[in-house]
Amino acid sequence: MPKIDLAAVPERKGVGYPKPFDAPSKDRIRRRLGDAGGLKDFGINLMRLPPGNWSSQRHWHSHEDEFVYVLEGELTLIEDGGETILRAGDCAAFPKNSGNGHHMINRSDAVAVYLEVGSRQPDDMTTCSDIDMKSSNADGRFVRKDGTPY
């Protein structure tokens, strides 16, 4: 049956970044709905972001489009051009290779819930805008921008 049993989808807390870059997102909760449904070409994550947490480090993708849709709460989207408030019903799109680093911060006093959709391109390189870190989809390792490991 195509219906996904949400209660059976594991929750993953935090992010895989090396320390100390993991700290701002330490309480973020991700449920990989695309994986649970057997999808291969794109991923869909149900995200819960507690107050004070970041969605990720600010980043952009070389070969992967990204889209978010806010279901509950309020988030502050931070990009190169400034900040934008996103509330339930709002969405944002991030075209591949834009060089426009983005992330969201929950500055409210309530948990925010959103969907995150990405295209799972094997050649994708995620580059962090504000710190010396990047990651390749090919191996998933986080390295410095010159390629040296953490």
Radius of gyration of the chain (CA): 15
The residue-averaged pLDDT of 42-46 equals 97
63 near 123, Cβ under 8 Å? yes
Question: How does DSSP classify residue 18?
Answer: P
Give the per-residue pLDDT at 1. Answer: 61
The residue-averaged pLDDT of 44-72 equals 98
Question: How does DSSP classify residue 35?
Answer: H
pTM: 0.94
Choice among 51-55, 74-78, 104-108, 139-143 with the minimum mean pLDDT: 139-143
pLDDT above 90 covers a percentage of the chain that reads 96
Give the per-residue pLDDT at 131. Answer: 98
Per-residue pLDDT reduced to its tens digit, 97-147 = 999 999 999 999 999 999 999 998 999 999 999 999 999 998 989 999 999
Judged on CB neighbours under 10 Å (0-12, 13-18, 19+), 107 is middle
Q: Is domain 25-137 annotated with CATH 3.40.50.300?
A: no
129 near 80, Cβ under 8 Å? yes
d(CA 35, CA 145): 29
Residue 85, number of CB atoms within 10 A of its CB = 12
The residue-averaged pLDDT of 59-71 equals 97
Length of the chain: 150
144 near 132, Cβ under 8 Å? yes
Say how many CA atoms lie within 13 Å of 24 toward its Cβ.
Answer: 11
